[in-house]
C-alpha cells in the first residue's frame, strides 16, 4: 500500500509537469506562428494556474459538475445509515472520515475525489443507496475508501481537471487555425512548417492525455477492488454490487466523458464488448468479479 501511495504521488507530479509542458508547447508554437510573445506568456500563466486549480479545487469542481449535495443526517433514516456505514468502515480502514455527498440520480454508482485522505469526499447516487443491500453498499464504500487511502483520488482529480483544460485549449487552437488563416501569408514556408507542428500538438495532446487516463483508471480499479474487499473481509459483497451496477439500465445523467473514469463502474453503457474493453476507462466487470471471487480471505 505504501509503495502504491508513493507511486501515485510521483505520477501526480509527473503528470502535472507533462501537462505543463503540453500547454507551454502549444503556446510556444502559436507565439512563433503569430509572432506574438504574449501568447507564450498567457500559456505559462494558464498552465501554472491550471495545476494550482487542479490540486486545490479540482474536487470541488468535480462535485459541482456532478450535481452532488452534502449528505444530510436529518434528511431521512437511509442517509443516516449510510453515514454510519462510512464511519464504521473508516474506523476499520484507519482512514479519516471523508465528506459524504449524495447525487440525486436513479442510476447506481459512486466515486471518490480530493487531494489526500484529510481532504477527501465520496459521492453516492440515490440509486445506489436504494438498490444495494448492506453488504453490497459496504463493498462499494470500502472500494472508494481504498481510492482515498491509496491516493488514487489525487491522481485522478488532477488528471481529470488538466485533461479538461487540454481538450479545451486544443479545441480553441483548432478553431483559431481557421479564423487566423488570413495571417498566414507572411513567411509561408516557415508558417506552413509551424502549422504542421501546431496541428500535431493539437491532435496528439488530448489523445495522449486520454490514453494516460485510461491506463491510470484501469490499474487503480483492480487495486481498489482488492483493498476494499480486505476492509470488509467479504469480497462477494463488492462482486455482487458490481454486477448490479453494471446491469442497471438507468443512464447516469450527470456523468461526462471527463469524469467517467472516477466512477466505480463506467456510467456509459457499452453494447460492443470488444470496443468497450479497448476504449473504456474501466476493466471489464467480468474480470473484476472473477478476481474478487478468487480472493482467499
Residues with active-site annotation: 144
Cα dihedral across residues 275, 280, 285, 290: positive or negative = positive
CB 177 within 8 A of CB 34: no
**3-class secondary structure, 35:** coil
> Whole-angstrom Cα distance, residue 148 to residue 62?
15
Q: How many CB atoms lie within 10 A of CB 252?
A: 24
101 strand-pairing partners: 70, 123
Give the cell for residue 1: 500500500
> Whole-angstrom Cα distance, residue 213 to residue 207?
10
Q: Alpha carbon of 119 to those of 62, 95, 99, 244: distances in Å?
A: 14, 11, 8, 30
> Whole-angstrom Cα distance, residue 55 to residue 20?
13
- Give the helix ranges, DSSP H, for the chain: 2-34, 37-56, 58-65, 77-93, 126-131, 134-149, 152-179, 188-232, 235-247, 273-279, 285-293
How do strand 99-103 and strand 110-114 relate by DSSP bridges? unpaired
Q: Which of 177, 212, 211, 171 is nearest to 195 (CA)?
A: 177
> Whole-angstrom Cα distance, residue 113 to residue 51?
16
Amino acid at each position: 500500500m505504501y509503495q502504491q501511495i508513493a507511486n501515485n504521488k510521483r505520477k501526480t507530479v509527473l503528470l502535472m509537469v507533462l501537462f505543463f509542458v503540453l500547454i507551454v508547447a502549444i503556446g510556444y508554437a502559436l507565439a512563433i506562428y503569430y509572432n506574438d510573445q504574449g501568447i507564450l506568456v498567457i500559456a505559462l500563466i494558464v498552465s501554472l494556474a491550471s495545476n494550482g486549480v487542479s490540486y486545490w479545487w479540482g474536487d470541488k469542481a468535480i462535485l459541482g459538475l456532478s450535481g452532488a449535495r452534502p449528505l444530510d443526517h436529518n434528511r431521512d433514516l437511509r442517509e443516516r445509515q449510510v453515514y454510519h456505514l462510512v464511519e464504521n468502515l473508516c474506523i476499520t480502514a484507519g482512514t479519516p472520515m471523508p465528506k459524504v455527498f449524495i447525487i440525486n440520480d436513479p442510476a447506481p454508482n459512486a466515486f471518490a475525489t480530493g487531494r489526500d485522505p484529510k481532504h477527501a469526499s465520496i459521492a453516492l447516487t440515490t440509486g445506489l443507496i436504494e438498490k444495494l443491500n448492506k453488504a453490497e453498499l459496504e463493498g462499494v464504500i470500502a472500494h472508494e475508501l481504498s481510492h482515498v487511502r491509496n491516493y488514487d483520488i489525487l491522481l485522478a482529480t488532477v488528471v481529470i481537471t488538466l485533461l479538461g483544460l487540454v481538450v479545451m485549449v486544443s479545441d480553441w487552437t483548432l478553431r483559431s487555425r481557421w479564423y487566423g488563416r488570413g495571417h498566414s501569408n507572411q513567411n509561408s514556408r516557415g508558417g506552413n512548417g509551424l502549422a504542421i507542428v501546431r496541428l500535431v500538438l493539437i491532435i496528439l495532446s488530448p489523445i495522449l492525455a486520454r490514453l494516460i487516463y485510461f491506463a491510470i483508471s484501469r490499474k487503480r480499479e483492480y487495486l481498489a477492488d482488492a483493498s476494499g474487499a480486505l476492509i470488509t473481509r467479504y469480497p462477494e459483497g463488492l462482486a455482487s454490487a458490481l454486477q448490479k451496477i453494471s446491469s442497471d439500465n438507468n443512464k447516469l445523467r450527470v456523468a461526462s466523458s471527463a469524469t467517467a473514469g472516477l466512477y466505480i463502474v463506467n456510467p456509459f453503457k457499452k453494447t460492443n464488448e470488444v470496443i468497450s474493453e479497448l476504449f473504456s476507462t474501466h476493466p471489464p466487470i467480468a474480470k473484476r468479479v472473477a478476481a474478487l471471487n478468487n480472493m482467499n480471505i
